[in-house]
């Protein structure tokens, strides 16, 4: 199970990468546009934090296949390492996916809302498909079920494409799509912080400390000689 950060916040990425086990970062034009510096500098900085092995997913802007290919080749060449080019599942996007994957440029198919879109992206050679779980819920769909259906279809036909589920508002959605068999999730800072926290954990740890200090004061275990 891979956990990626859906952000371009450099400070957050540094802290998360240093403290926790993360597998990469996903970005999109909206995320990059919120930063104060040029998008190339942002992506280069993210790459330097992640190293070459962890995945970096960067999205094209154009909606014409020829221009998508041009942007994808630029991203692939500029940022090196384990880079995936995010391409929306629009007709021109599928066309570009076929061309790029035949030339060993790795693709993440994004803005997926149906299992059929995911299947067509897999047929076009995409390494990942990114269904938008909460956005599906917001249009009276069921994002978890969509992810589960995609996983089932891929397993049934032994497709190598992996599911990188995106767009979450809470950890319950993540738990359910994990149980459905998704291979990866990408989450924003707010949801990510809730994956490893619980108030009773904090209470338990504080209780241990208080009980220890009642007997031993501020000494720690290594202060005692055998």
HEC per residue, the chain: CEEEEECCCHHHHHHHHHHCCCCEEECCHHHHHCCCCCHHHHHHHHHHHHCCCCEEEEECCCCCHHHHHHHHHHHHHHHCCCEEEEEECCHHHHHHHHHHHHCCCCEEEEEECCHHHHHHHHHCCCCEEEEEHHHHHHCCCCHHHHHHHHHHHHHHCCCCCEEEEECCCCHHHHHHHHHCCCCEEEECHHHHHHCCCCHHHHHHHHHHHHHHHHHHCCCCHHHCCC
Specify the residue for token string 């199970």.
Answer: 1
Instruction: Supply the residues annotated as catalytic.
Output: 86
Domain-located, residue 223: no
The Cα-based distances of 46 to 3, 28, 32, 61, 74 in angstroms read 16, 13, 11, 19, 17
Domain-located, residue 212: no
Query: Has residue 226 got a pLDDT over 80?
Result: no
- Give residue-wise pLDDT tens across range 85-133: 999 999 999 999 999 999 999 999 999 999 999 999 999 999 999 999 9
The domain containing residue 53 runs over which residues? 2-197
Domain-located, residue 166: yes
Domain-located, residue 49: yes
CATH code of residue 82 = 3.20.20.70
Domain-located, residue 160: yes
Domain-located, residue 92: yes
Domain-located, residue 210: no
Specify the residue for token string 């990425």.
Answer: 13
Query: Has residue 225 got a pLDDT over 90?
Result: no
Domain-located, residue 224: no
Q: What is the mean pLDDT of residues 28-35?
A: 94
Report the number of distinct structural domains present in the chain.
Answer: 1
- Give residue-wise pLDDT tens across range 52-97: 999 999 999 999 999 999 999 999 999 989 999 999 999 999 999 9
The Cα-based distances of 30 to 26, 125, 169, 178 in angstroms read 12, 25, 18, 26
- Give residue-wise pLDDT tens across range 141-191: 999 999 999 999 999 999 999 999 999 999 999 999 999 999 999 999 999
CA 151/CA 64 separation, integer angstroms: 29
């Amino acid at each position: 199970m891979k956990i990626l950060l859906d952000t371009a916040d450099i400070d957050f990425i540094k802290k998360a990468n240093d403290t926790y086990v993360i597998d990469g970062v996903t970005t999109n034009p909206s995320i990059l546009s919120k930063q104060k510096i040029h998008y190339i500098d942002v992506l280069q900085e993210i790459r330097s934090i992640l190293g070459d092995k962890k995945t970096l997913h960067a999205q094209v802007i154009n909606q014409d296949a020829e221009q998508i290919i041009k942007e994808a080749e630029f991203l692939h060449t500029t940022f090196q390492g384990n880079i995936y080019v995010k391409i929306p599942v629009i007709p021109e996007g599928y066309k570009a996916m076929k061309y790029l994957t035949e030339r060993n440029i790795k693709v993440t198919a994004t803005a997926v809302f149906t299992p059929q879109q995911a299947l067509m992206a897999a047929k076009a050679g995409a390494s990942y498909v990114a269904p938008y779980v909460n956005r599906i819920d917001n249009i009276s769909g069921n994002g978890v079920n969509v992810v589960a259906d995609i996983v089932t279809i891929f397993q049934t036909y032994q497709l190598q494409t992996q599911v990188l589920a995106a767009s979450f508002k809470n950890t319950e959605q993540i738990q359910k799509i994990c149980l459905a068999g998704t291979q990866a999730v990408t989450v924003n800072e707010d949801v990510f912080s809730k994956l490893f926290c619980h108030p009773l954990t904090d209470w338990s740890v504080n209780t241990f400390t208080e009980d220890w200090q009642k007997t031993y004061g501020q000494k720690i275990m290594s202060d005692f000689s055998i």
